[in-house]
Homo-oligomer: A and B are copies of this chain.
Amino acid sequence: MLNAEIIAIGSEMLTPFRVDTNSLWLTEQLNAIGVEVRLKTIVGDDEGRLEEAIGDALRRSEIVISTGGLGPTEDDVTRQVFARVLKRRLVLHHPTLEKIRARFAKRGIPMPAINERQAMMLEGSMLLKNDHGTAPGMLIEDGGRTAILLPGPPREMKPMYSTLVEPVLRRTVGEMFILRLKLSIFGLSESRVDELAAPIYTRYTNPTTTILVKNGEIELHLTAQAKSESEAKSLLDQLGGKLEEALGDVVYSRKNESLEKVVGDNLRRRGYTVATAESCTGGLLAGRLTEVPGSSHYFNEGVITYSNEAKMARLGVPRELIEAHGAVSEEVAVAMARGIRERTKATFGVGITGIAGPGGGTEAKPVGLVWIGLADDEGAQAIRMVFPGDRHFIRVLAVNTALDMLRRRIF
């Protein structure tokens, strides 16, 4: 497997405010054609350190990709540092200069002299034209190594890589197909998933398997590598099938879909509709359901009934029920789900009531306690959860759990 290093250039990524995210996208692209990323460096506009970083990278790795530092100002030193390390002259590329001049002319302003720097190219480099900005990139093949200079802004960098760099790297790497499969899982802990999955996936070195966790959702990422696409696909299908069999219905997608997308597709296919009545989640469940384009096919309306008065007036929750059991109770969650279903004539009604904190918890009803009710034409039930974490996390977990309840109800 060929290996690559990525150098992100820009002082803003050495502050507490910005992280280099270009390299995540580039890593994904490189992995997909069989190139492994072995090291990443983040460096500011200090010429000495940049020179050292570039020199080290070119000595160690077959492919070196830099992002950033191709702008017109004094701080943008990427070109001259690569020129120094590779011992190549910088020469003015007249067609590029004319193109930059024309961009300025179009806006009715003369080109500032400093922009001329952006037309300087390393001798013997391949020019990577920039359709979304002024600075072109460069690709240099030098003694078996490939150096690639890309601009920093993602909207310039990504199309330049995809259209101009990837075809060159594919030729270098040779035919190699890397395919991925992601199993999205909800309803089991990470350790329980691993307990079920590890005895299976550890028997395989190809595909490789990685577990990731986010907001209570678990993802199993499988990556297979083969000389042909069909061989890679069959490797994935084999292991993926075994894992799905072992995990059962906690796997909600093998196509990188969100929970709300899976729920929405199922509702739409069946011609069902859903309506929501939210207290502690304050509209976030409706917000997630309507994040999906075309959600108006199955979502018509919802209410946020934060106060007891709103629960009574908008959902017909009886005052006596709230007084007897409290607003955060099985009875009220069920009444909310029934209430919104009846008032909207939806197939499903969902009611959520809980204590998101940080205040308002008691020993019997701690912060994190959430009741989620679901009503349909067969009746209504509620489940009780106690979620960990802060206010934000509790609300997100409550929404995910409600979406998963819906998913399991619709076949």
Contact = CB atoms under 8 A, between A and B. Distances in A.
A146 interface: no
Interface residues of A, number: 70
A240 interface: no
B14 A38 contact: yes
Contact of A42 (B25, B40, B296): B40
A23 B289 CA distance: 35
Nearest to A48: B60
A27 interface: yes
Interface string A8-33: 00001111111111011101100100
A41 B23 CA distance: 12
Chain A interface mostly: mixed
Nearest to A219: B17
- What is the total number of copies of this protein in its complex? 2
- Of A16, A28, A309, chain B has the most CB atoms within 10 Å of the CB of A16
Contacts of A12: 210
A365 interface: no
A201 interface: no
A45 to B, nearest CB: 11
Interface in A40-67: 40-44, 46, 49, 52-53, 56, 60
Interface stretch (A169-177, A280-288, A402-410): A280-288
Contacts of A306: 290, 295-296, 299-302
Given A300-B309, A301-B306, A302-B304, A14 B41 contact: no
A248 interface: no
A344 interface: yes
A3 B239 CA distance: 48
A14 to B, nearest CB: 5
A221 interface: yes
Interface of A: 12-21, 23-25, 27-28, 31, 36-44, 46, 49, 52-53, 56, 60, 210, 212, 221, 276, 278, 280-287, 289-291, 293-296, 299-307, 309-310, 314, 344, 357-359, 391-392, 395
